Amino acid sequence: MVSVDTKKKAWIGDVKNAGRAWHPQGQPEQVRRKDCVDKRLGKGIPYGVYDITANNGWVSVGIDHDTARFAAESLHRWWQQMGSRVYPKAKALLVTADAGGSNGYRIRLWKVALQELADTIG
């Protein structure tokens, strides 16, 4: 059983981040003065897969668009790299989602992409 969702999009590059990062005293991380859009680098779009049973997470980061195909591909990559190794005898996979955005229950492409994933991994 996994839970999937898109996380907060973030600018890529040396922009200010309100979070915390520890550095040696007197050696702060250098960032740009203004957080202007860098169209060359763009935004990172993180899509998370959380394995509820194993309490493990997986994040795929895209730079194009948050789409149903991207969501399904993130789930597929999680299965290839983690899920199939943790659950080699699995016969089913329950995917829970908040049903908004790219993984909305009304999004036909999400349903099609999930079916293609099911067909691919058996």
pTM of the complete model: 0.75
Instruction: Give the pLDDT confidence score for residue 54 in this predicted structure.
Output: 92
State pLDDT tens for residues 11-63: 776 666 666 667 788 887 776 666 666 677 778 888 899 999 999 999 998 88
Contacts of 2 (CB under 8 A, 6+ apart): 49, 50, 51, 52, 75, 78, 83, 93, 94, 95, 96
